[in-house]
Amino acid sequence: MHVLLGLDGSDESVKTLDTTIERVTEVGDDLLVAVLDKPEADRTAEAMHDLAQERLVAAGIDAEIRTLEGDPGSSLVALAEREDVDQLVIGGGTRSPMGKVRLGPITEFVLLNATMTVKLVR
């Protein structure tokens, strides 16, 4: 399966990276990683790129990492369509006090606009 992993520098993205690395190691998916520039994130795009590279190399996974510019949601969906991926993996979603999942604007955009399967890691 051709998988695109979207990372935005948040702690959720680090968890999503680790989860995706586990799956790729187990089943051998073809992985492309996209790092989104999100100024309010816990890590800069450069720091997230370096972290992803470090963990992928440690796991023995050969994956291309691209840093995307512009609107994060639309840039990620556009890349997924250009690369004809089978699945787009993103992290996100927090629980409200009532137990409902709250989605951020990037996650919501991707879920509503992606034409391929989207896996949301929480």
pLDDT tens profile 26-82: 999 999 999 998 888 889 999 999 999 999 999 999 999 999 999 999 999 999 999
The token pair that represents 40 in the structure block = 């309010």
Element (H, E) at 121: strand 117-121
- Check residue 73 and give its pLDDT: 96
- Check residue 80 and give its pLDDT: 99
- Check residue 122 and give its pLDDT: 85
What average pLDDT is seen over the chain? 95
pLDDT above 90 (res 85):
yes
Mean pLDDT score, 18-23? 98
- Determine the CATH number of domain 30-88+110-122: 3.40.50.620
Q: Are 80 and 90 in contact (CB under 8 A)?
A: no
Domain residue extents for the chain = 30-88+110-122
